[in-house]
Amino acid sequence: MARRRGLRRLTVLVLALALVAGGVYSAVFFLQRSETLVSERCRAVIGERTSELAPDQAVNASLITAVAVQRGLPPRAASIALATAMQESKLRNIDHGDKAGPDSRGLFQQRPSQGWGTEAQIMDPYYAANAFYDALVKVPGYESLEITDAAQRVQRSAYPTAYAQHEEMGRTFASGLTGQTPEAVRCTLRAPGTGGDTAALSAELSQAYGPLGTAVEGETLVVDAGGSQAWSVAQWAVANAKGFEVTQVDVAGRSWNREARDGWQASAATDGQVRITVAAEGTGS
């Protein structure tokens, strides 16, 4: 009789453990399934105007805009550049051209045969963006021209009015990414896949903006910046959050949190610095 009771207890224990294990598995499966259903996108929201880009497009938009900021150019220059790159390459660094320009390459579809540089140079997004701005600043009064007119004077496209369809996207993302409009850029992303790398993040940030005062506190990169530059850096970090596994950005009393997926919220972030936090090592979705 005692043996039977022991067997019954063991059976109940095994069943209970199986139910717990099944519940854990179901919870993990549910969370993983929920993540796959997240539609990843980045938006620039200014008043009632909203523009949307895929995360990889937003990365290139942030790079192009950061180069303008580093050069001290007005947000209008970034607006023109973004509209141009969207028309020419869909804001992707493509390694091929078309019938009109078979040797066209890169974000701006620049052509080695027309003196834009070597193919290797043009395929470097930083080189390509600087080459575009070098040409743009030579256009008299480009700041007051219509975006499509300014773009055409640089590109000499066979479709001179095509840039106009991307003007609103160029304006909204440029306004946010230059820091002219705080908390405009927000990205909806899945959970981080791995841990982040603050050293790699710092190196990319320095290439984008030039030398910045930075320090590392655990998984957080602290950047010395204030005013519009702080908001430019903060929104650059949001646009690059997917690739660098950024989980939170804090700046000037506001915070973007990857997990919350609801834009910018009030926080205790102080002025004068941007705090960019990446996923801890060993993190995985």
Helix or strand run (H / E) with residue 223: strand 220-224
Which residue's entry shows tokens 């970034």?
A: 78
The average confidence (pLDDT) of the chain is: 89
* 277 within 8 A of 217, measured Cβ to Cβ: no
Q: Where are the alpha helices (DSSP H) in the chain?
A: 2-36, 55-71, 75-89, 119-122, 125-136, 147-155, 167-177, 198-209, 227-239, 241-244
Paired tokens of 23: 């519940």
Report the C-alpha gap between 8 and 5 in whole angstroms.
Answer: 5
Measured at the CA of 283, the angle between CA 278 and CA 285, to 5 degrees, comes to 110
> What integer is the mean pLDDT of 6-34?
49
Find, among 113, 111, 133, the residue nearest to 123 by Cα: 111
Q: Which of 21-30, 245-254, 275-284 is most confident?
A: 245-254
User: Both tokens of residue 114?
Assistant: 């027309």
In a 3-state reduction of DSSP, which class is residue 163?
A: helix
Residue matched to tokens 């950047």:
223
The pTM of this model reads: 0.86
The answer on pLDDT for 123 being more than 90 is: yes
Percent with pLDDT over 70 in the chain: 86
Q: Is the pLDDT of residue 166 over 90?
A: yes
